[in-house]
Chains A and B, each alone.
Chain A
Amino acid sequence: MDPKSLDFKTSWEYAPAPEGKEHIKINARYEHFIGGEFVAPAKGRYFETINPATEEKLSEVAEGSSEDVDKAVVAARAALDKSWSKLRASERGKYIYRLARMMQERAREFAVIESLDGGKTIRESRDVDVPLAIAHFFYYAGWADKIRYAFPGKTPRPIGVAGQIIPWNFPLLMAAWKIAPALAAGNTVVLKPAETTPLTALKLAELIQAADLPPGVVNIVTGAGATGAALVNHPGLDKIAFTGSTEVGKLIQRAIAGSRKRYTLELGGKAANIIFEDAAIDQAVEGIVNGIFFNQGHVCCAGSRLFVQESVYDTVIRKLKDRLETLIVGDPLDKNTDIGAINSKMQLDKISAYLKIGVAEGAELYQSSCKLPKKGFFCKPTLFLHCSQSQRIVQEEIFGPVLSVQTFRTPEEAISRANNTPYGLSGGVWTDKGSKIFKVSNALRCGVVWANTYNKFDPSAPFGGYKESGMGREGGLHGLQPYIQYN
């Protein structure tokens, strides 16, 4: 062993500190939420949702058919025509505020269910997902009666009924990103949560019911791809909002070609995180870790391609490896866990396949020495060193805790490699030099640039991609635009 190495296998370890789940109530079965009521699926079919950390069944959930989708769209249209559009904008806003407040009361419950159903750490669901989801409702609630100030020279109107399809990586937060601006702008919605993580959206449905929102303003139909397809193809929708893979995004754009439906897509990414030699290196290493290991790397904007200037490469990699040793992988409900469970068996298989591909392509695999739990879906934090731009692990979105590392010599080289991808969602720049930050962040062809930070989100900050990472923005004033029309 190198005499100058640090040892993080310490004689003092942290005892397990699991978050209590005794007070959490999960029903044995969940129905669709349509027209303000929980409604059994027309075909009577249900699917299981499991805890990916234990592989145990949590509940069973209605499988949406085209009949169910139709029912939901009809309910949303009726709500739009009969109640929601008749309300004063300020009253619509007050409903959204009320919902935000009720979520705050039950924040911990949401957090625990989010971790149980999706495998993400309680620290993140408690400190990031749930508070941000609430903040989103709170932010857009206030816009409801102020939208005319957001579009100078125009008189905005709602679009109508929106079909919204959300992914499994931030289930409640994505529901908030979709529902809050749509409602604030006066639309009604049919939301389809991801099939592996439907529970928090259904909990939200209970709150929506309890908050007395007019029936049909928010409808939730659960199911997998077929349910999503039924929603996308339903002629009664005015707009589709989708967050998910680029592949499915393209399918959706094709499916609605020639229809009058508007659409916004928030899709995949392969973000470059660029570390210059004059960066605050220790903070940059934190940014690298937060960039790729946040939420097990199940983040479309994850900093999955690391570019390190050659002169500091050894330093950065040594620190990064040290830091990997301190990451705690395991029980998502343990308050000390840094990396939780991979969301599903399918996703774990996909990540594992990429690990094999990377090795076959000749990249150097490095993983932390942590032990993984025997049950459940887990993956060690992984680095691929000495990667080349042409490798699949550099070009393709892995959506897991896997970082591909390359070096660069000059800023121009870093920028051109960073942009050499069909994606364009996000990027990171680390340097202590202000003028360099602006030069590089301007040159990056992507919708979000984190300079000397990474993976920060806020309801007031627009988020969305360039190129194949999607179109339209969510969050902030710009996030209203996809839900209004003018002329």
Chain B
Amino acid sequence: MPRNNAALAVTLPPQFVPIDEVGIDERVSRFSKRSIKKSSKVQALKLALSMLDLTTLSAHDTPERVRQLCHKAKNLLETMPELPHVGAVCVYGPLVKVAKEVLKGTKIHIAAVSTAFPSGMAPLKTKLIETRQFVADGADEIDMVISRGKFFEGDYDYVADEIAAVKEACGKAHLKVILETGELNTLDNVRRASDIAMHAGADFIKTSTGKVQPAATPQVTLVMLEAIRDFYYATGKKIGMKPAGGIATAKQALHYLVMLRETLGEAWLTPDLFRFGASKLANDILMQLVKEQTGAYQSIDYFSME
């Protein structure tokens, strides 16, 4: 369908952008060869903590478990009170109220996974209902999943329209769109899904639910960051990025930050535009920070699990 309105140009369905997998691998390996030491390391680890979406997404999560996680979010480490707080706590929607209660008075956001997470196999109508409900319950951020089946059918309009509808249902809450890159399989698909999500109104694009392997990888994250860069240059809009799942060590987190720094620069080095979705990462970062302070390698026994 021809569109003549020039103002619509940026909302046109994105064109196919080819991605070379080997080229991506090579670029990623360059990031991981950056050597981050001493003060530079401490600074980055603190930044990473502030970008953390502390996550629990088990089908058997209970209010008690969520409370524990929220307390951990509030008090990362008694001995280091100067540490920044994490970006958000990420939970299933029905537990938003519990988190809200514990995190009252803090600046820690509450993120709720929504839209029949993790499969997304539900009618749009029910997806919108749950989204509105979670926002009403106090969620600051909604993490939705795209309809991968429709994506593979080639029904990109459906995928885009659905995102736009959920975005509308979010109201003031920020929308993170999970592409589930582990199912998209190719980097070409990751790029296409990223473009669709951004054009449809995503505030963040996110790699994974954490329920599918592989979850976040440096490769898909780079492709998504490059899509964000192109979108920024085309529209002036800054879209956030959240790699989620599979990032368990401080060293990995540093490599992601190197990638972020060298792809998007200063403006994105903030929790407003970058998050790590992780459950085990916090403690590894804390252990590294204590090691930098004391000079001694640390044991997990000295760090609370939640």
Candidates A14, A282, A284, A432; contact of B35 at CB < 8 Å: A14
Ordered by A's residue number, 6 sampled pairs between the chains whose C-beta atoms are within 8 Å are: A6-B267, A12-B261, A14-B35, A282-B23, A283-B24, A283-B27
A30-83 contacts to B, CB under 8 A, are none
Asked if B44 and A12 sit within 8 Å, CB to CB, the answer is yes
Candidates A9, A15, A280; contact of B23 at CB < 8 Å: A280
Asked if A7 and B266 sit within 8 Å, CB to CB, the answer is yes
Interface string of A1-24 (1 = CB under 8 A from B): 001101111111111010000000
Nearest B residue to A282 by beta-carbon distance? B226
B26 within 8 A of A: yes
Asked if A326 and B262 sit within 8 Å, CB to CB, the answer is yes
Contacts of A439 in B (CB 8 A): none
Residues of B at the A interface (CB closer than 8 Å) are: 17-20, 22-24, 26-27, 33-41, 43-44, 47, 226, 229, 232-233, 236, 257, 261-262, 264-267, 269
Q: How close is B173's CB to chain A, nearest CB, in angstroms? A: 27
Asked if B266 and A283 sit within 8 Å, CB to CB, the answer is no
Asked if B233 and A318 sit within 8 Å, CB to CB, the answer is yes
Nearest A residue to B36 by beta-carbon distance? A14
Asked if B43 and A12 sit within 8 Å, CB to CB, the answer is yes
Asked if B19 and A280 sit within 8 Å, CB to CB, the answer is yes
A206 within 8 A of B: no
Contacts of B261 in A (CB 8 A): 8, 10, 12, 326
Candidates A4, A278, A286, A287; contact of B236 at CB < 8 Å: A4
Asked if A8 and B33 sit within 8 Å, CB to CB, the answer is no
Candidates A318, A336, A452; contact of B34 at CB < 8 Å: A336
Contacts of A123 in B (CB 8 A): 33
A417 within 8 A of B: no
Asked if A452 and B36 sit within 8 Å, CB to CB, the answer is no
Asked if A280 and B20 sit within 8 Å, CB to CB, the answer is yes
Interface size class of A (residues with CB under 8 A): 20 to 34
C-alpha gap A13/B39 in the complex (Å) = 9
C-alpha gap A14/B38 in the complex (Å) = 9
Interface centre among A14, A282, A318, A326 (most CB of B within 10 A): A282
Asked if B18 and A12 sit within 8 Å, CB to CB, the answer is no
Asked if A452 and B20 sit within 8 Å, CB to CB, the answer is yes
Contacts of B22 in A (CB 8 A): 452-453
Contacts of A281 in B (CB 8 A): 17
Asked if B267 and A13 sit within 8 Å, CB to CB, the answer is no
A335 within 8 A of B: yes
With A123-B33, A280-B18, A432-B18 known to touch, is A10 a contact of B269 (CB < 8 Å)?
A: yes
Contacts of A370 in B (CB 8 A): none
Interface string of A280-311 (1 = CB under 8 A from B): 11111011000000000000000000000000
Contacts of B34 in A (CB 8 A): 14, 335-336
Q: How close is A445's CB to chain B, nearest CB, in angstroms? A: 25
Asked if A15 and B38 sit within 8 Å, CB to CB, the answer is yes
Q: How close is A126's CB to chain B, nearest CB, in angstroms? A: 9
3 nearest CB pairs, A to B: A283-B23, A17-B35, A15-B40
A279 within 8 A of B: yes
Contacts of B39 in A (CB 8 A): 15
C-alpha gap A338/B159 in the complex (Å) = 41
C-alpha gap A336/B31 in the complex (Å) = 10
Contacts of B17 in A (CB 8 A): 280-281
Contacts of B23 in A (CB 8 A): 280, 282-284, 286-287, 452-453
